[in-house]
Amino acid sequence: MSETGKKVAVGIDLGGTAVKIGILNAAYEILAQTSIPTDADRPYQEVIADMGKTASALLARNGFAVADCAGAGVGSPGTIDSKNGVVLYSNNIRWDNVPLAKELQKYLPVPIYVQNDANCAALGEVLRGAAKGCQNAVFLTLGTGVGGGIVINGKIFEGGHPGGAELGHIKCGAEGRRCTCGRADCLEAYASATALIHDAKEMAKQYPDSLLWALCDHDLEKMNAKIPFDAADAGDPCGRLLVDNYIQYLADGITDLANIFRPDLIVLGGGVCAQGEKLTEPLNQHLRANCFGSTVAYVPRAVVAKNGNQAGMIGAAGLVSL
């Protein structure tokens, strides 16, 4: 048994570049953590073997026997069959029908739970983050894509079948932008960091005098999702337009989610949410103005996630009952 006699959970965040592994207690505090490169080009068996051996070693190194560990949760990108612990498909790590739980248990003989990484991040924010104590929350991560997670009555709602809670893939905008999923005009095609960067590059090409150029050192390859916000702050009309458009699209998406889920809060994660109130204030104005029945019904607020890069690990550990 551990020194305190209390059980711990392992939380694993499987990313395209790195696998983050942590040991967490019942308060979802990270007692120890490490990370290894994913190196996703290898056979999945090797990736999972490394994951399991590293987790076991981390437990041992910190004085925990396998019996001290109530289970391990893994947050994985892609479409997950959580019931069977299988990664059905992940574009990110190029996995196809990988029996993650079964394989991991060879190296880490505890109950294994697998969930989509954005679902884990949503749960993490509810357990110990911006939505702590909320029973109902919707989470959007604004990064390379737009990931979604839904918490209903304190638990992840992943949809009735694998492939639910894909909140980046609701319709938004009408420019005919092709989404990575194949459909046109998904929220992801307008509200991901990738989309904002793409739009900023196009805008810069059209307006050679824009401050956008100076902010990316006159090299469009250095464009990032912060630059349009910085340009807007400095009074650049191109920056302002980019930010206003971006927020309008995002606001449309979260208003849909408010009308569907009417959650306690809408939590925004991912790189773009570093903009804090520059993002949430106009979003909240839009929500108050556009939510169905906003004069009589509760209007959820949009807030910024608190768990940052640890959101996935915390939420993955949250899959384990402690």
The least CB distance from residue 157 to a copy of itself, in Å, is 7
The least CB distance from residue 299 to a copy of itself, in Å, is 8
Q: Which is nearer to a copy of itself, 103 or 264 (CB)?
A: 264
Q: Which is nearer to a copy of itself, 106 or 178 (CB)?
A: 178
Q: Which is nearer to a copy of itself, 35 or 290 (CB)?
A: 290
Closest CA to 316 of 37, 6, 13: 13
The least CB distance from residue 25 to a copy of itself, in Å, is 28
The least CB distance from residue 40 to a copy of itself, in Å, is 18
The least CB distance from residue 117 to a copy of itself, in Å, is 15
The per-residue DSSP string of 157-181 comes to ---SSTT---GGGSB---S-PBPTT
- Residue numbers of the site for a copy of itself (CB under 8 A)? 79, 88-89, 135-136, 148, 150, 152, 157-167, 169-174, 181-183, 252-253, 255-256, 259-264, 290-293, 295-298, 300
Residue 283 in tokens: 């979003």
How far is 5 from 241, CA to CA, in rounded Å?
57
Residue 12's DSSP bridge partners are 21, 74
Q: Which is nearer to a copy of itself, 181 or 220 (CB)?
A: 181
Residue 122 in tokens: 């949503």
Cβ proximity of 177 and 189 under 8 Å: yes
Q: Which is nearer to a copy of itself, 11 or 149 (CB)?
A: 149
How far is 14 from 117, CA to CA, in rounded Å?
8
Cβ proximity of 113 and 319 under 8 Å: yes
If phi > 0 it is left, if psi is from -120 to 50 it is alpha, else beta; for residue 126 that is alpha
The least CB distance from residue 254 to a copy of itself, in Å, is 11
Q: How far is CA 214 from the centre of its chain?
A: 31
Characterize the bridge pairing of strands 155-156 and 146-152: antiparallel
Q: Which is nearer to a copy of itself, 224 or 290 (CB)?
A: 290
Cα–Cα separations (whole angstroms), residue 71 to 30, 157, 305: 15, 20, 26
Q: Which is nearer to a copy of itself, 97 or 309 (CB)?
A: 97
SS3 at position 42? coil
Instruction: Give 161's contacts (C-beta < 8 A, 6+ positions apart).
Output: none
The least CB distance from residue 52 to a copy of itself, in Å, is 25
Q: Which is nearer to a copy of itself, 107 or 157 (CB)?
A: 157
The least CB distance from residue 3 to a copy of itself, in Å, is 40
